[in-house]
Structures are given as structure tokens and as C-alpha cells.
Amino acid sequence: MAILVEQLTVVVRREAIERCIFGGWERFQALTEDHAPCWDGCLAGASFATALEVRRFIAILEGYGLQFEDDGTCQDIAVLDQYEGLWVPCTWLVLGRLPLDADELTVKAVWLDPKLISTKNHPIHPSVAVPVEWTYAGSFSELDAQLTQRHAVVELIFQRCEPLEDVYLDPDTGCERRYPASTDPEVLHHRGQCLLKGDAGHALDPLHGMLWLEAAANLGHLSARHGLGLVYSLGLHGIACDEVAAAHHYRIAAEAGFAASQNNLADMYQHGRGVARSIPEAVYWATRSAEQGEAFAYTTLAELRATDAGFAHDDATLYQWLLLAVRNLPRGRTLKTMQEAAQALERRAHSTDLARGRELAERWAPLKPTDHRMGELDSRKDVGTGADETSPTTPTRTRSVVVRGDAALSTLRH
């Protein structure tokens, strides 16, 4: 048999456990009860999340008399990284991928070298031993398979989906390649973007691109959700502008903490686009976005302060947001506008207010910096006509339909 390898797996020879640990397998189970122990008759294993946990466990085993390594090779104990393999060379283990029972799914597994055992009494890995209550769905093995497929398909051109398979074209060989039908939101998001824009060798197909983006969004991909809002709000790629749909998608991502969507939703509340105009809501969402370090949210808050939005006159706070915007915005028209606004304020405001504004800007630090930053295209000052250069002249009519869970893919796979 063989045992499952996930995260950092410590593998111990059975004979060493029986030789050194009083209580044998039962005692080993007690030592590893919080680390998914498994056993195949020849080997025992336990999984750990960090190298520190592994070293502590090895120290415990060595306290019982087991030996980790000698002269650069494993003795009684081996450590396998799910992605990198053995920590130390081992002459008594074989690492590979094996089918999971009768399923077509495969997992990383390790087994004792067949030359060291009698196959009459110990079959050579007809199945993989896994921890009690372990399931493939949601496991690190499933994540590993998703990452492997994710890295493979980004180099391919999506052709079509079949009930159980996704079919791609290999641009280097001109041959079709088939993979299990993906429910990985990152793969679906990439596919949607390629079809929406006609990128990476894909034919331009905005309608199907939007459907795949929505499938990814409904599986929890916040960048895909934000992308839907952006396309609908600006009418990009030939998709008809639909501000109500845009606000709907922005709100879902905003409530999940996506900074760019929070700011775009604030903009819609500020100007009454797709939602009823509400300055308190605009301030709320722009502030949530600014707290994550979103530079365009500083712009929104500066604009709200500069306009008649119900605030008390406060040049110091206005100057704070202008300075933060100027210091953090990418190059573009929005940055130039904020620079001009800051210069105008410097000419008219009292020096005390300007000094206070500088102090506030220096003391500002995001509560939760985000990795998801808006680009210049997200700025409402760059909307223009609401179509990009490659968009068809006639907007494509499409609609936004929110579908939860696995049903998100049903209309695309049948």
C-alpha cells in the first residue's frame, strides 16, 4: 500500500515505531491526533503545516530513540514536501502519483521500496491510505491538482467545454488537449478575460467571456466580480452599459472587502448611477476602501470634501486626501487633476490648515492594505465614451444573472 502526502508529511517506518515507541501504532496515533495520521502497514505518516512543527515532532520521535538522518540520508524518519519532495535523500521510499481508489483522481503518495518488502504479504500500493474522515473535496490534494491544471491551461487556447472535460488547443503543436472540467475560479476568470478581450490567441467572444467571468464570480472570485461591474459600468468590449447591474456586482465584491469595488460603489452613490444618490453611503464605502490603501478612494473622499456634500468646511482634511491621492495614484489624468486641485488649495487655504493637512497625511496608515488596486481605467475621469478602442460600435446586449454554487456552470456545460 501507500500513504497520502499533503503539506509537510513526516513518514516513519513501521518497524521503527514498533521497535522504539512503547504502544506502537496506538501511541503514534496519540502523538499525531491533530495532524491527520495515516498508516499502510509498512509506513505511518502525519501532516504538518510548518517546518517548525515538523522539527518539533522529529525531536519528539528522536526522544523515543528513532533516528532522522545519518550521513545525509534518512534512517527511520523521512520528511516530504507536497510540492518540493524529500527534505533529505531517502533510499527506502518511492514518491509518485497514484489513483485514489477506483476514481480517476490521482494524489501524491509515498510507499516503501518494493525491493525491501515481501509483496506476498504486502501488496505494492494497490490503494492509498488516507487519514480518517479525509475527503478529496477541499483537500490540499485537490488544491494541488487545481494549481497544476491552472499553470498548464494558461498556455493553451480554450476551445469548448464538454460535460466532463474542457478542451484546449495547444498553440505549439496544434493538437487538442483535454482536462477534467474545471471548477477552479482562477481558471474560469482567466478564460473569461481571454474571450472578453480576444487575448492570448483566443477569438474575441465578449458574450461567452462575460458568462465565464460570472461563473468565476459566483464561485467567489472577487476580481471577476469586480470585472463584471467594471464592464457594465463603462460599457466595455461592446457590452451594453448597465449601471444597475454594475452596482449589483460592485456591492457583492464591496461587501466581501474588495477595495476597488468599494470605491466604485462609492462613486455610484455619489453620482446616483445605478443606485439612489446617497452621500452617506458614498462616504461609507469610500472610507472602507481608503482604509485598505486604495489611492482612488483618496480621490473620492477629496471630491466629496470639495463639493457641497453636507460636510462642515475643513480645508485641513481636504488637503489630507489630496496629498494622499497625489502621493499614491498611478500616472494618468486623475493624478494630474488631483495635483491641480492641491495646488489650487495651497494658493487659497490658510497656512495653518495646510500644515494640519500635511500632518494628517503623514500620520495616515491603511488599517488593512490591499493587494487589489484600481488601475487608471477604473477612474471615472477616464470613462470617455464608455467603450474601448477594440469594442464593436454596436453594444452587445447581455444580462447579469446571479447563480450560486455549482449551478453557476450549468448553462456553460450543457
Mean pLDDT value across residues 274-287 = 94
pLDDT value at residue 137? 85
Is 377:151 a contact under the CB 8 Å cutoff?
no
CA 31: distance to chain centroid? 34
| pLDDT at residue 382 greater than cutoff 50 | no
Mean pLDDT across the chain, nearest whole number?
A: 86
pLDDT value at residue 147? 85
Tens digit of pLDDT for each residue in 200-232?
899 999 999 999 999 999 999 999 999 999 999
pLDDT value at residue 134? 92
Which residue, chain included where needed, has cell 451594453? 240
Q: How many CB atoms lie within 10 A of CB 139?
A: 17
Higher-pLDDT residue of 305, 250 = 250
Sheet holding 2-4, edge to edge: 93-99, 106-112, 2-4, 128-129
Q: How confident is the model at residue 126 (pLDDT cuts 50, 70, 90)?
A: low
pLDDT value at residue 371? 56
Backbone angles phi, psi at 49, to 5 degrees: -90, -30
The number of residues making up the chain comes to 414
Q: How far apart are CA 411 and CA 413, in angstroms?
A: 6
Q: How far apart are CA 124 and CA 119, in angstroms?
A: 6
SS3 state of residue 349? coil
pLDDT value at residue 176? 93
Report which of 365, 356, 357, 352 is spatially closest to residue 341, judged by C-alpha positions: 357
pLDDT value at residue 406? 45
pLDDT value at residue 374? 59
Specify the CATH number of the domain 154-256.
1.25.40.10
Backbone angles phi, psi at 396, to 5 degrees: -85, 130
pLDDT value at residue 307? 82
Q: How far apart are CA 11 and CA 223, in angstroms?
A: 39
Alpha helices in 2-81 (DSSP H): 14-20, 24-31, 51-63
CA distances from residue 15 to 8, 11, 19, 220, 250 in whole angstroms, order as listed: 22, 12, 6, 47, 59
Q: What is the residue extent of each domain of the chain?
A: 2-134, 154-256, 261-384
Mean pLDDT value across residues 52-67 = 94
Tens digit of pLDDT for each residue in 230-264?
999 999 999 999 999 999 999 999 999 999 999 99
pTM of the entire predicted model: 0.69
Mean pLDDT value across residues 294-309 = 89
- Terminus-to-terminus CA distance in the chain, angstroms? 39
* Lowest mean pLDDT, pick from 127-136, 190-199, 215-224, 365-374: 365-374
Q: How many CB atoms lie within 10 A of CB 2?
A: 26
